[in-house]
Structure 1
Amino acid sequence: MLLADNRNRASLDDAKNMMHTIWLLQMAYDVAVTRKVIIEPPNRDQLLVIKSGTINYDSLLIQA
């Protein structure tokens, strides 16, 4: 049971890291294009879906 819990936790940590990676890539693009830092992302809902782990890794790589 503990091993399964650790795997689930690691999966959620990976999803959270991917969400932050996508967010940082989008922020870098926005800074390059607009020369402004947008703190609150307009696609917050999409980022939360990524954080929840419901989007698979391959589709995130395509998006990035």
Structure 2
Amino acid sequence: MTGYVMFRKDRLGRRGGGVILYIKESIQAYEIKLEKEAECEEAVWCNIVTGNSTLTVGLVYRVQT
């Protein structure tokens, strides 16, 4: 998408799935990698910087059980 930065995490080993997060290009953001990322395969995390503050945003897909 034009004007946005994409953060994505594809599902591995299976068809379909995964998550994607778009942040406007005018907003300073960077992806964070978690140590226990394997426990939550379909998740993407990023920090959004605004002035003196940092906001952590997470997008997680949870399969219904």
TM-score, with structure 1 as normaliser: 0.28
Higher strand share: 2
Larger Rg: 1
TM-score, with structure 2 as normaliser: 0.27
